[in-house]
Amino acid sequence: MPSQPAYFKSLYPVAESQDGFFTTKQALDAGYSNRLQTYHVQNGDWIREARGIFRLDCFPPSAKPDLMVWYLWSCNRQGKAQGVFSHETALSIYSLSSWNSPKIHVTVPTAFQRMVMPEVIQLHRQQLRPGDVTSKYGVAVTKPLKTIADLLVEGVVPRKYLIEAVAAALEQKLILPSEIAKSKLTANEKKLVEVIIRVALKRSTPKSMPMA
């Protein structure tokens, strides 16, 4: 049997870039057969986090472990992640609002398919543009402007929480009013975003102090 250290040297850089997580395919590519994978799980070297997704026991816990697990869950047969965290989940990742959703919201390509859909996952099918996506905590996330636009179009999150989110995003300069015109948002999305920004700016502007 080939030595484990040679396999480990191939697997560790992959796991390191993913907060210690890796997929069955990535382990196979590194040289670990299915039998060896079972052995390392039973031996406690690997922690099975989800179907086909493991974590190295020797790796320190990550700040947002669920994000990487579900990001890897979205990988296609070539091992490329297809999911982008969006909507309410993206709002939470940026810490822009006190609104919480029990679901993990992931935007995937329209052709994305899975035989079994975990109850915790809420899929949104949309062909995102490169300019709509950024990276945070090592995973793909819709940018704040796109996140707000998606939530406005969806119309599920109460308006007061979206105003709260926009005000926070403006304050942190995660959204600049000037970028709306340059964005690739649809005309309807731009209109909705412009309205909510005006409301957020109006509410965040201090009232004039009365004259003495």
* pLDDT score recorded for residue 7: 85
Question: Three-state SS string across the chain, please?
Answer: CCCHHHHHHHHHHHHHCCCCEEEHHHHHHHCCCHHHHHHHHHCCCEEEEECCEEEECCCCCCCCHHHHHHHHHCECCCCCECCEECHHHHHHHCCCCCCCCCCEEEEECCCCCCCCCCCCEEEEECCCCHHHEEEECCEEEECHHHHHHHHHHHCCCCHHHHHHHHHHHHHCCCCCCCHHHHCCCCHHHHHHHHHHHHHHHHHHCCCCCCCC
pLDDT higher than 70, residue 53: yes
What does the pLDDT read at residue 164?
Answer: 95
103 with 166, same domain: the answer is yes
pLDDT of residue 124: 97
Band of pLDDT at residue 106, cut at 50, 70 and 90:
very high
pLDDT tens profile 145-196: 999 999 999 999 999 999 999 999 999 999 998 888 888 899 999 999 999 9
What pTM was computed for the model?
0.88
Instruction: Say whether both 44 and 98 belong to one domain.
Output: no
Does 25 map to a domain?
A: yes
- pLDDT value for 64: 80
Higher pLDDT, 203 or 144: 144
Burial class (CB in 10 A: 0-12, 13-18, 19+), 142: buried
CATH number at residue 86: 3.30.460
Residues 112-132, mean pLDDT to the nearest whole number: 92
- pLDDT at 1 exceeding the cut of 50: no
Are both 77 and 180 inside the same structural domain? yes
52 and 73, same domain (yes or no): no
For 197-210, what is the mean pLDDT? 70
Residue 181 lies in a domain: yes
Q: Is the pLDDT of residue 115 over 90?
A: no
**Domain ranges, residue 36:** 4-56
pLDDT class for 205, splitting at 50, 70, 90?
low
Is residue 210 scored above 70 in pLDDT?
no
Give the pLDDT score at 162: 95
Give me the number of domains the chain comprises.
2
